[in-house]
Amino acid sequence: MIRYFLKHKALPTVYAVEADEDGTIMFALDVTDEATKGGLCLHMLDSLPLAARVDDVLALTKDRFEFLDYEPECGNTHHLMTDLLELEERYRDASDAFNVAHARASVLKKQMEGCGDEVHALLRKIRDRKPLPLFAEL
């Protein structure tokens, strides 16, 4: 089940909905009051008590094309700080993974250059060798 907000294109109506994997709306809650007061954010979506009010679900299903997906701005400092800490942790993880990969790439590059030097040295040795006596007269 997927939860998201829907906002009417023309009216100030906002719904929190829960739909199945096919997109069929199963539960809905009118959250227009919370949205107009600025007390609505994505962090609250999981805690909202959605209900299967038949009228709302049927209206949303019937008039789905009149609603747009809606992502309200969050002004709650605690939510924003939590998001910031999560992003910083993801940044650290990515940075650590990059540093490990970069160190590994540096080691592999040195190995590659060493092998390349050995190949070139062997090619020089082959090119600079004296011809075999059998072919010396040619």
What does the pLDDT read at residue 36? 75
Q: Which residues of 25-45 are buried (b: 16+ CB within 10 A; e: fewer)?
A: bebbbebeebbeeeebbbebb
What does the pLDDT read at residue 137? 60
With a pLDDT cut of 90, the percent of the chain lying above it is 30
Confidence of residue 94 (pLDDT cuts 50, 70, 90): very high
| 10: CB partners within 8 A, 6+ apart | 66
What does the pLDDT read at residue 19? 86
Q: What is the pLDDT of residues 17-64, one digit of tens each?
A: 888 888 888 888 888 887 777 777 888 878 878 776 788 888 888 888
Residue 95 tokens, joined: 């940075």
Task: Indicate the pTM of the whole model.
Answer: 0.56
What does the pLDDT read at residue 31? 84
Say what the alpha-carbon torsion angle 52, 57, 61, 62 is, to the nearest 10 degrees: 150
Would you list the DSSP string of the chain? -EEEEEEESSS--EEEEEE-TT--EEEEEE-HHHHHHT---GGGGGGS--B--HHHHHHHHHTGGGEEEE-PPP--HHHHHHHHHHHHHHHHHHHHHHHHHHHHHHHHHHHHHHHHHHHHHHHHHHHHSPPPGGGTT-
Average pLDDT, the chain: 86
